[in-house]
Amino acid sequence: MKNTAFSLAQVPFEQMFQASALPMLIILPKTGEIVEANQAAAHFYGFSISEICQRTIFDFNTLTREEVLQEMRLAAAYNKNTFRFEHRLADHSVRQVEVISTPLMHGPDAPLCSVIHDVSEFFTIQQREQLIQQTLEKHYHLLHAVLNGTHKRAMLVVDPTGVLRLLNKPAENILGLHPVQATGKPLATTLFGEEIIANIQRELSLPASTPLAWPTLFAKIEAHALQATKGWVRPEGLPAFRAEVHFSTLKEESDTVSGLLILIENIENQEQAAEKLKLAASVFSEASEGILITSTDGKILDVNQAFCIMTGYDRQELVGQNPRMLKSGHQEPHFYQQMWESIHATGHWFGELWNRRKNGQIYAEELTITAVKDDQGKVSHYIGLLSDITDRKHQQATIEHLAYYDALTQLPNRILLGDRMRQALAHNARGHGLIAVCYLDLDGFKPVNDKYGHKTGDLLLIEVAKRLQDCVRNHDTVARLGGDEFVIVMTQINTPEETDRILHRVLHTLHKTFRIDGYPDIHVGASIGVAHYPVDGQDADTLLRHADHAMYQAKDAGRHTVHYFNPAQDEQIHQHHQFRNEIRRALEDDAFTLHWQPWVDLSSGKILGYEGLLRWVKDNRNIWLPATFLERLENDNLLIAIGNRVLEQAYEALDQTFQYNIAKPISLNISLRHWQGKTFIQKLRQLSETHPRVPSSFISLEIKESELLANMDELKPIIREVRGLGYKVIIDGLGAKTEVTDYPYLALADAVKLSSYLLHDMLENDQALLHVQTLHLACQKRNVPIIAKQLELIEQIVVLLRLDITQGQGYAIYPTLSALPLQPSEEPNIELNVPTLHLAWPIDDSALATAIPEHRRWLQKLHKLMLDGATFPYQKGNTLDCCRLGDWMHGKGQRWAHLPEFNKLEKEHQHFRRLVSEAVAAIQTAPQNMPGILDQATSELGRMADTVDLLIHDITKNSK
């Protein structure tokens, strides 16, 4: 050792210096003299300690003296204590070393303790730090300088009891550990997440169920080396983060473990970057679209597998080539010029082009080109994203054909027809004669379709299309609108007669027998409506609409004919079309609903069931009754749609009543068109299957007597099939046909409903009353229940009960309900309070039994007259109408004139009528007297009621 003013004995870490496994030197910074070296330095450099101390640090360095001093000056200026040098050893080999120099005392000339770390074979900072820590664990001031040499990793030193002895500055920032507060206290193992702890337990063969404790860890770690592990670190008071954790043992001279160096590095950014790189690589390799990367001069740098599959080339064949090798010649040079102008201006381009595969096949691709720029904003390369759209192009061509041509007949469809009509109109606007728009609908096509099937029907339409094309001229257009509807547009027509000649040729051609699909004798005809430009319209839509209207007139005129548009009939047809459109919208908007009218036992008021009555809620406020719209539809198919909606709503309502155990039978009016519909039975089956809770027997379907009689042969098997499904059938309006004297068709019915006209007339007309009795007897004979409907007067109920007709419905009993009751409390409580007549009571005397209800209505009208000025319906001019009681007393009732109560009733009746006349007159002359007169009339009516009861009693007794 050189004789210097510095002696190692003066340094408190002499023992550590000599025992250190790392080379250590004591250097004078001014001269670079080495004043002391340990045994590890002698071993590393290949010189003895004395030989080392006879040299300067410059002798070992491959740099010049001035270069080394410059490094030291820079280090002092930047407060840096770590150096990277190349040192030459005694055997002349050169080693990469990392030198950490720390002053041993204060002062500018303080000797430096330099730790020499051979990093030739170590490339990671983790290994360098671990080797250093193994040596410097016990020496705080030197180790502290080393620990703070890294700014990314938290470094902790714990002793075998788990007490934190040392931490660096990053540990404060990353883990939130304050040196003063944390040092000297146990480090909680909860700092490490479950994943890290599980890795430690697995490597050290610790049971997973045993909590990790520092003494256990130290006991195991002497025999095992811990690998770096990744997982969650959970600092107290700070967000958890993903980290890589290294554990290194610190040993004393006796080789016993005296501590543990823990390195913790936040790797969230690294993992995210790695994930992004992995994702980018995955997208590139796995993408279904082709990806192409080129340099700025157009050379292909890379392609993915999808690009290779698309083009048919291998990657090796493409890299280094120019993409123009794929050109098909379908694009002109100016196409590519515009493409590159867009890329240079905007940085990207998107479009379609045709290229050529390796096998020569032409294909279509959708291409996006994006210019990628470097940090300086200069374009570094281009990326192309490609999709093979050849199939799509072919589909588009097919779709475009389908968009303009009928798929079955290959004739122009409505869209192409409109386009050709507009072209023809534009041409004819310059004065080139007439244009005839001919709307053709086949006659008899539906029966063919139903009889032979849809396949034969389609073949027939194809043949019709061919015949139509053969009948017209080359410049005319034949189009199919759908179904069995065609349009012929004839241009350059000079006179309407020319149109007529061509169309009659069409009719003649279509009338000829068709031989289709093996059937040799198929016949159809056509109804044709014609509108001429410019006489019948100035635009395509108007002409087509007018021709359509004219076609319907041809249908009405007997079919298989030509009808020319007549403006006088157009408005009526237009209004009907508007009405049908309103009905369609009402169906779409669910504007049709059912109200429910109870039918009852007339003797007790007990509800036996409900009839569903259709209502149209128009404009969300006005309610239209069926009579206002159903008759206008006649045999329209819309009746089927409405009928299906009625059935669906009825089933849903009835299903709910079964859910609440309060179900009662219902009846529904079914139109003749619906009964005759091909899907009627199918619809009933479907509804029965979708509502298994509802027995079919709870639903009665009504058919009008008049419609049944007119279509008996057709309807009889349908009715039998409906009844076979469990539904009941009611013949509605029985008795409307007064000429019928035999009723064998009652065998088709489970019940009948009497004609409302008959029920009204029976109070006035003896023949009507007799007809009711006859119908009742006919139904009794066949055990068919009879129901009286649309009862509006109590008198009707009195007479019906006398006839032993005990079921009825109508506003005299109870108004309609907006929904079926779902709770017993919702069900109407019906009290009729109808006088009951003995069956011996003469039916001719029914006017007496109904006299009080009739005159009570008179009083009700008088009260309404007094309150709101309503009209009094029982007076014409100054004379009161005759009432049924008055007619009876002057007619058939005269046979009872000998009874005292008869004469009394006659006087009371005359007095009552006089009071009514006075009340009506008082409205105009002395309205203040009206209440008093009404009170008198009410009292008189009460006396009349008592007298009627006595007279009924006497008549009944005399009748017996």
603 CB-near residues (< 8 Å, 6+ apart): 801, 806, 836
Q: Is 484 a catalytic residue?
A: yes
- Count other C-beta atoms under 10 Å from residue 455's C-beta: 11
Q: Nearest to residue 114, comparing CAs of 146, 153, 147, 71?
A: 146
Q: Are 594 and 616 in contact (CB under 8 A)?
A: no
Place of tokens 């959970």: 234
| Buried/exposed 128-139: b ≥16 CB within 10 Å, e otherwise | bbbbbbbbbbbb
Residue 601 phi, psi dihedral angles, 5° rounding: -80, 115
Place of tokens 């061919």: 466
Residue 737 phi, psi dihedral angles, 5° rounding: -90, 90
Q: Nearest to residue 531, comparing CAs of 574, 477, 567?
A: 567
One-letter amino acid for residue 368 of the chain: T
Which one is catalytic: 406, 443, 484, 548?
A: 484
DSSP state of 905: H
851 CB-near residues (< 8 Å, 6+ apart): 883, 884, 885, 909, 944, 948
Nearest-angstrom CA–CA distance, 310 and 137: 63
DSSP state of 183: T
Helix and strand counts by DSSP (H, E) for the chain: 36, 33
In sign, the C-alpha dihedral spanning 264, 268, 269, 275 is positive
Nearest-angstrom CA–CA distance, 6 and 26: 9
Sequential DSSP letters for 268-330? HHHHHHHHHHHHHHHHHHH-SSEEEEEETTS-EEEE-HHHHHHH---HHHHTTS-GGGGB-S-
Q: Are 740 and 708 in contact (CB under 8 A)?
A: no
32, 50, 835 from 60: Cα distances, Å = 11, 15, 138
Catalytic residues: 484
